[in-house]
Amino acid sequence: MNETLVVNGRRQRVSRLTRLLESEKALAAALLAPGVAILVIFIAYPFVMALWYSLTSIRVGEPGEFVGLANFTKAINDTIFQQAFKNTVFYTFWATIFKLALGMWLALLLNRHFRFKRIVRASMLLPFIIPTVLSAFAWRWMFDPTFSVMNWALYHAGVITDRLPFLSDGDWAMWCAVAVNTWRGMPFFAITLLAGLQTISPDLHEAAALDGANAWYRFWHVTWPLLLPVTLVVVVFSVIQTFSDFQLIYVLTGGGPANSTHLIATYAYQIGVGSGLLGEGAALSLFMFPVLFAVVWVQLRTLKRMDNA
Amino acid sequence: MLIERKWKKWVYFYLPMAVFIVFTLFPFYWMAVTAFRPDTELYATWRQPNAQPLWTLAPTLEHVKGLLQTTAFPTWLWNTMLIAIVATIISLICGMFAGYALSRLRFRGSEFLGTAIFITYLVPQTLLFIPLADIIRDLHLGNTPWALMLTYPTILIPFCTWLLMGYFKTIPKELEECARIDGATRFGAMVRIIFPVAIPGILSAGIFAFTLSWNEFIYALVFMASADQKTVPVGVVSELIRGDIFFWGQLMAGALLGSVPVAIVYSFFVEYYVTGLTGSVKG
Amino acid sequence: MADVSIRQLNKKYDNGFHAVKDVNLEIRDKEFLVLVGPSGCGKTTTLRMVAGLEEITSGEIRIGPDVVNDLPPMDRNIAMVFQNYALYPHKTVFDNMAFGLQMRGYAKDDILKRVREAAEILGIEPLLERKPRQLSGGQRQRVAVGRAIVRHPEVFLFDEPLSNLDAKLRVQMRVELKRLHERLETTAIYVTHDQVEAMTLGTRVVVMKDGRVQQVGEPLELYGRPANKFVAGFIGSPAMNFVEVSISGDGRWAEAEGLRLSTPERLRAHGGQRLTLGVRPEALQIANGAGDSSFATAVDVIEPLGNEILLNFRAGGVAMVARVDPGVRVKAHENIRFALDPERLHFFDAKTEDAI
């Protein structure tokens, strides 16, 4: 019902539409609708479907039947999956450590004033900006067994006599993957840590220096503790991305040689799409979810504790 | 700034900085050199005594030409650009609306929804692509750009929402209240006052979303079947390897030219990108 | 032109906090009403409910003859000046002032005329093409006021508009606001925590505490006849001195440690009670002799302000302040005798704190 008030040119009728647009609840619902719709249709619903698939023997072209946890037990007993899981943990662990250490170092370097600072900072982000697949290809070319530029450089520098089996040996290949992931992710750490560094007042460093602290001591006792909240968030983002990484290994090694460099994601793809075993593929992917959830949960708890401290 | 000796500066700063720069940018240099190097030079093995891989004295455009003329690369460029722009626009609009609703409006369940949107970020694409392929097929969107234009926002919306939420929170609510007293509805105040003031934040979210769209791979790989629908990352990976032979010259040309558009757009918005990156972590 | 009527107004937040309790105010047309009180007393919440920025839990607000409880802010025909000015940073001064008129569909010429008019009144014509970030605090404040004037609203609402200005500017703007009000003759409701602003600007002042109205009245009435101890202590600077006293059985004397003062007529009925005595610093005079209503004490700290001297001392077991003429010659730790006019003594019930 429209509320008609004394019409005196100054107070108008309150239309229904206005009432609607004014109501916080109605407006909120309308504003959130499109985003939530997309997320529900393309994330929530497929997620539930994936859960369902993982419990069936569905394959391409065949709806399959309910098999309970069979896919999961098969995965746990699958040696390739065991290797893939180990690889993923290895990959995530080492890449994160290197990214953090190098990113921090780079952030400390970038925190100073020097000529060309802006252009250096901008270009340092390029590995992160450029599509992973494309830069991974460049690395693959750099690691090529026959034509590797790095083998060439090391050979001509007299460091090696025989070529290094960058991607042709399982262990070497994993370390190469760690290296490429570090190369790609380090700028992300560097730039965000740099922003964190810039919020630390220089007074603190000056006071510490006057107190007799050297650079390392200042870093460890002043900078690092103050940066912990930002570091924590960055690490969690990075862990989530790295743990579920697909593109890099897919392009760099394809999971080989002989399935020795698979990550959970690439193996799930190989089983799900390559072999068409959708149910098993879904089950494999689901192994990622609890780990990610645990990581985020730990982070939230730690952050909360830090807030209260 | 603390005073330090000159040699210290060289050892502790210039040297490491130089190493970082080389480490970071060398692969791109390598990409470029390979792209413009004739085949004869390219395939010099690592042990060959006269090989000089670090530069070429006879640059050639044959790979680039081959790429542009014999493959569907230009189409891939167009596809990727179009999809990235549309996905960014969709995500920005959804993110702006959702970010506003979650940060400025009070209603029951706003905290729950905020957390829920955060959780969707945790669900990896490598899990969803299997059932999503079915859904896309059922909606008859398979092998069309819309398959990606609608699914990319699932990765982009959570991020845009947080970033903009954080940004909106810094805008004093008196601005809105004043607009509402002045005669605007809540919606009107949002569009006329809040959004214009938040333009830097919107640009940050936009450029970040744009680069993320270019980077996406697995959905494009799974949903797009025919060569003329593929995006650059998928095209380069799947179409430029014939048989088991890698045509590195062309591949690197593809990688290079595929990187250039993103790099160019990024270079215009560096500050916004950095703000977006750091804002998402703080917020 | 409108009067504003607030009846049994209540505001309770979702977390249970009862911010505004049964507030009743009748604001007359053309009046400049000031709501004053400490932080958290509910004055801003009340103002925001009149503006339509907070939902009313219970009660009624009328502007003119109309109940506005459910009207959105833009339909109430009010204008508001915020503490932080709330100028739209992406618009020029002109556009800031024109925004409200544009929202209402006024003709371009009309807008131009009105904005120029308001700009002239406030002396900000040369600033019309600038953006807010190019203006000083005082200029921004004027633009904020100009934006409000331009709409010719029925009621002006001010939310601590002078708090962000430095002391000197504040005094200047106070005078200008008063002049403006006299010129525009529009009803105004003004919120502040500064009792000096309240006293100088308000035709009537409302003192609030903990969500309730403590007293409503003209400034001098609040000063001279405070309704309770809170109002007495809030209005006036330096604040009123308070001391616990016992009234003698016959009601003639108020007694405390080292103090024996004769009481006014009205205290006769309160013999034998313990009350709180209040005396303003300016009511303490230097005594000529040992009269009935005088006491002696030693001066602790002397604060010479130039136009007056503040004497800090102890009496009746509490610290007190007296305000005396600059000509008074006294040294620290010297003994001094004060005289009091019984009629200028305030008494408050020890429990309810109401005035007697």
Instruction: Give pLDDT tens digits for B236-259.
Output: 888 776 667 777 888 888 889 989
Highest-scoring range by mean pLDDT, A213-227, C42-56, C243-257:
C42-56
Per-residue confidence at B69, pLDDT binned at 50, 70, 90?
confident
Chain B residues in contact with A209 by the CB 8 A cut-off are 2
Chain A residues in contact with B151 by the CB 8 A cut-off are 42
Q: Do B127 and A288 touch (CB under 8 A)?
A: yes
- At C216 the pLDDT is 95
Instruction: Please tell me which of the candidates B21, B127, B248 has its beta carbon nearest to residue A141.
Output: B248
The closest of A1, C178, A268, A120 to B130, measured between CA atoms, is A268
Which of A110, A112, A115, A147 to probe by mutation at the B interface, max B CB count within 10 Å? A147
Per-residue confidence at A3, pLDDT binned at 50, 70, 90?
very low
The rounded distance, in Å, linking the Cα atoms of B63 and A195 is 41
Per-residue confidence at B280, pLDDT binned at 50, 70, 90?
low
Q: Of 3.40.50.2000, 3.10.100.10, 1.25.40.10, 3.40.50.300, which CATH number belongs to C4-234?
A: 3.40.50.300
Chain A residues in contact with B39 by the CB 8 A cut-off are none
Q: Is C107 left (phi over 0), alpha (psi -120 to 50) or beta?
A: beta
Per-residue confidence at C256, pLDDT binned at 50, 70, 90?
confident
- At A2 the pLDDT is 37
Per-residue confidence at C281, pLDDT binned at 50, 70, 90?
very high
**What is the DSSP track for chain B?**
-----HHHHIIIIIHHHHHHHHHHHHHHHHHHHHHTS-HHHHT--TT-TT--TT--SS---HHHHHHHHHSSHHHHHHHHHHHHHHHHHHHHHHHHHHHHHHHH---TTHHHHHHHHHHHTTS-HHHHHHHHHHHHHHTT-TTSHHHHHHHHHHHHHHHHHHHHHHHHHTS-HHHHHHHHHHT--HHHHIIIIIHHHTHHHHHHHHHHHHHHHHH--HHHHHH--SGGG--HHHHHHHHSEETTEE-HHHHHHHHHHHHHHHHHHHHHSHHHHHHHHHHHHH-
- Measured between CA atoms, the residue of chain C closest to residue A12 is C75
Instruction: Give pLDDT tens digits for C5-55.
Output: 999 999 999 888 999 999 999 999 999 999 999 998 999 999 999 999 998
- At A152 the pLDDT is 76
- At C115 the pLDDT is 94
Q: How far is A118 from chain B (nearest CA, A)?
A: 9
Work out the angle at residue B105's Cα, subtended by the Cα atoms of residues B102 and B110, and round it to the nearest 5 degrees.
45
- At C303 the pLDDT is 92
Number of A/B CB contacts below 8 angstroms equals 282
- At B53 the pLDDT is 66
Q: Do B180 and C147 touch (CB under 8 A)?
A: no
Q: Do A10 and C77 touch (CB under 8 A)?
A: yes
Selected residue with higher pLDDT from C150 and B120: C150
Whole-number average pLDDT of chain C: 91
**Predicted structure pTM score:** 0.80
* B residues 234-253 lying closer than 8 A (beta carbon) to A: 234, 236-237, 248, 251-252
Which of B181, B192, B199 to probe by mutation at the C interface, max C CB count within 10 Å? B181
Q: How many CA atoms lie within 13 A of C37 on its CB side?
A: 23
Q: Do A138 and B255 touch (CB under 8 A)?
A: yes
- At A308 the pLDDT is 66
Instruction: Give pLDDT tens digits for B164-197.
Output: 988 898 888 889 999 988 888 888 889 999 999 9
A53-62, B45-54, B169-178, C233-242: least confidently modelled range: B45-54
Per-residue confidence at B106, pLDDT binned at 50, 70, 90?
confident
B5 touches chain A (CB under 8 A): no
Q: How far is A121 from chain C (nearest CA, A)?
A: 30
Domain parsing of chain C, residue ranges: 4-234, 241-349
Per-residue confidence at B43, pLDDT binned at 50, 70, 90?
confident
Q: How far is C69 from chain A (nearest CA, A)?
A: 12
Which of C55, C61, C68, C75 to probe by mutation at the A interface, max A CB count within 10 Å? C75
- The answer, yes or no, to whether residue C334 has pLDDT greater than 50, is yes
Selected residue with higher pLDDT from A220 and A163: A220
- At B49 the pLDDT is 59
Question: E strand or H helix at A120, and its extent?
Answer: helix A117-124
- The answer, yes or no, to whether residue C61 has pLDDT greater than 90, is yes
A26 touches chain C (CB under 8 A): no
Q: Do B28 and A44 touch (CB under 8 A)?
A: no
Per-residue confidence at A8, pLDDT binned at 50, 70, 90?
very low
Instruction: Give pLDDT tens digits for A165-205.
Output: 888 887 888 999 999 999 999 999 998 888 888 888 778 77
Per-residue confidence at A243, pLDDT binned at 50, 70, 90?
very high
- At A7 the pLDDT is 38
- The answer, yes or no, to whether residue A4 has pLDDT greater than 50, is no
**Alpha-carbon separation of residue A219 from A197, A205, A303, A306, B283 (angstroms):** 11, 9, 21, 19, 25
Chain B residues in contact with A127 by the CB 8 A cut-off are 24, 27
Domain parsing of chain A, residue ranges: 24-54, 79-308
- At B51 the pLDDT is 58
What share of chain B in percent tops pLDDT 90? 25
Whole-number average pLDDT of chain A: 83
Chain B residues in contact with C88 by the CB 8 A cut-off are 175, 178-179, 193, 197
- At C24 the pLDDT is 94
What share of chain C in percent tops pLDDT 90? 61
Q: How far is A223 from chain B (nearest CA, A)?
A: 15
Per-residue confidence at B4, pLDDT binned at 50, 70, 90?
low
Q: Do A230 and B110 touch (CB under 8 A)?
A: no
- The answer, yes or no, to whether residue A233 has pLDDT greater than 60, is yes
- Measured between CA atoms, the residue of chain A closest to residue C54 is A24
Chain A residues in contact with B126 by the CB 8 A cut-off are 244, 246, 264-265, 268-269, 285, 288
Same fold, C4-234 and C241-349: no
- At A25 the pLDDT is 82
A297-301, B44-48, B198-202: least confidently modelled range: B44-48
Q: Using CB atoms, list chains with 3+ pairs below 8 Å to chain B.
A: A, C
- The answer, yes or no, to whether residue A11 has pLDDT greater than 60, is no
Per-residue confidence at B3, pLDDT binned at 50, 70, 90?
low
Q: How far is B237 from chain A (nearest CA, A)?
A: 7
Q: Using CB atoms, list chains with 3+ pairs below 8 Å to chain A.
A: B, C
Domains of chain B from N-terminus onward: 6-60 (no CATH), 64-282 (1.10.3720.10)
Topology of domain A79-308 in CATH is MetI-like fold (1.10.3720)
**What is the DSSP track for C122-182?**
HT-GGGTTS-GGGS-HHHHHHHHHHHHHTT--SEEEEESTTTTS-HHHHHHHHHHHHHHHH
What share of chain C in percent tops pLDDT 70? 100
Instruction: Give pLDDT tens digits for C155-211.
Output: 999 999 999 888 899 999 999 999 999 999 999 999 999 999 999 999 999 999 999
Q: Do B181 and C84 touch (CB under 8 A)?
A: no
Q: What are phi and psi of C347, to 5 degrees?
A: -125, 140
A4-13, A280-289, B89-98: least confidently modelled range: A4-13
- The answer, yes or no, to whether residue B1 has pLDDT greater than 60, is no
- Measured between CA atoms, the residue of chain A closest to residue C1 is A10
Instruction: Give pLDDT tens digits for C108-127.
Output: 999 999 999 999 999 999 99
A3 touches chain C (CB under 8 A): yes
Chain B residues in contact with C53 by the CB 8 A cut-off are 177, 180-181
- The answer, yes or no, to whether residue A121 has pLDDT greater than 70, is yes
- The answer, yes or no, to whether residue A250 has pLDDT greater than 60, is yes
Question: E strand or H helix at C191, and its extent?
Answer: strand C187-192
Q: Do A122 and B270 touch (CB under 8 A)?
A: yes
Q: In a 3-state reduction of DSSP, which class is residue A126?
A: helix
Contact C11, C49 (CB under 8 A): yes
- At C215 the pLDDT is 95
- The answer, yes or no, to whether residue B277 has pLDDT greater than 90, is no
Mean pLDDT of A18-36: 81
B15 touches chain A (CB under 8 A): no
| CATH class of the domain defined by C241-349 | mainly beta
- Measured between CA atoms, the residue of chain C closest to residue B171 is C86
The rounded distance, in Å, linking the Cα atoms of A286 and A263 is 13
Per-residue confidence at B202, pLDDT binned at 50, 70, 90?
very high
B191 touches chain C (CB under 8 A): no
Q: Do A244 and B124 touch (CB under 8 A)?
A: yes
Q: How far is C272 from chain B (nearest CA, A)?
A: 55
- The answer, yes or no, to whether residue B133 has pLDDT greater than 90, is no
- At A12 the pLDDT is 52
